[in-house]
């Protein structure tokens, strides 16, 4: 075994791959995915933002899972779609899904912290709940390197300041990977070292109160009202206690890691 294979970095990546292989084989995470399915405003904003910018663009999806979103971007007019995931199981499923739909999307198993693409390869890079699984400095270096100067990167990520959500996380370690780390305010500020423009839009604080009532009739109206309340709350420092944030990164700083890495 090489020294690199024995490194803490290699161990972390191996744990992430094992966790997500298990997830996509159907053995984990389904419970928590279902639990939060009621709260969709953040995910809807993320998807709408990405879809509105994909037409005619060369797109990379980080952490594509089984590929459904990547396939939809291809069908909506993206010039080319590449999609990566650390999970071999997820990529195999995504490739099957693409074949079933006769879609032209390239799915590859890849380490998102060391992209096998040339500099300035993409107009749009996107990902849902992926950055908090990564070494953020390495990931942002690669995103800024491979994003064209006029491009955008859009990510939907969980936040790590809400004490109640953090308690739930501690009580359900089997539903998450050992090394994941919901983003903190400092992580969002750190993105400014790699992008001149960092926009953050926050979702779900008071609307979390609706989750225990998710099977009660009329809960959708309750969520809509609480989402409107959240809009007011997020104009204050309480936004740090939101569940998720949509980050839009643009104007990449090209002084970081400009080293072409052709596909291997």
Domain locations in the chain as residue ranges: 8-252
- pLDDT at position 2 is 42
d(CA 72, CA 163): 36
Rg (Cα) of the chain, in Å, rounded? 18
Q: What percent of the chain has pLDDT over 90?
A: 73
Indicate the pTM of the whole model: 0.90
Domain covering 8-252: architecture: 3-Layer(aba) Sandwich (3.40)
- Residue 114 has which token pair? 């060391």
**Are 115 and 138 in contact, with CB atoms under 8 Å apart?**
no
Among 146, 153, 125, 128, CA closest to 244: 128
10 Å Cβ neighbour count for 188?
18
Q: Which tens digits make up the pLDDT trace of 170-225?
A: 998 888 888 889 999 999 999 999 999 999 999 999 999 998 888 888 899 999 99
Q: Which tens digits make up the pLDDT trace of 153-165?
A: 999 999 999 999 9
- pLDDT at position 3 is 41
- pLDDT at position 172 is 86
- Residue whose token pair is 């040339």: 118
């Amino acid at each position: 075994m090489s020294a690199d294979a024995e490194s803490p970095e290699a161990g972390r990546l191996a744990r992430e791959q094992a966790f997500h292989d298990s997830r996509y084989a159907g053995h984990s995470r389904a419970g928590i995915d279902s639990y939060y399915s009621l709260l969709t405003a953040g995910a809807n904003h993320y998807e709408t933002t990405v879809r509105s910018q994909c037409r005619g663009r060369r797109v990379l999806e980080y952490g594509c899972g089984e590929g459904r979103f990547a396939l939809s971007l291809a069908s909506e007019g993206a010039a080319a779609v590449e999609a990566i995931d650390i999970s071999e199981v997820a990529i195999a499923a995504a490739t099957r899904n693409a074949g079933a739909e006769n879609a032209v999307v390239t799915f590859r198993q890849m380490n998102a912290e060391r992209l096998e693409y040339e500099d300035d390869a993409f107009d749009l890079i996107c990902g849902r709940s992926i950055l908090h699984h990564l070494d953020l400095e390495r990931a942002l270096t690669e995103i800024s390197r491979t994003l064209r100067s006029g491009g955008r990167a859009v990510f939907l990520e969980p936040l790590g300041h809400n004490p109640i959500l953090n308690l739930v996380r501690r009580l359900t370690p089997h539903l998450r990977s050992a090394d994941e780390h919901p983003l903190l305010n400092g992580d969002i500020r750190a993105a400014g070292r790699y992008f001149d423009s960092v926009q953050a839009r926050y979702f779900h604080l008071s609307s979390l109160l609706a989750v225990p009532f998710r099977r009660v009739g009329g809960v959708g109206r309750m969520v809509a009202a609480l989402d409107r309340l959240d809009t007011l709350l997020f104009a204050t420092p309480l936004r740090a206690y939101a569940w998720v944030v949509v980050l839009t990164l643009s104007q990449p700083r090209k002084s970081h890691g400009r080293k072409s890495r052709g596909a291997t």
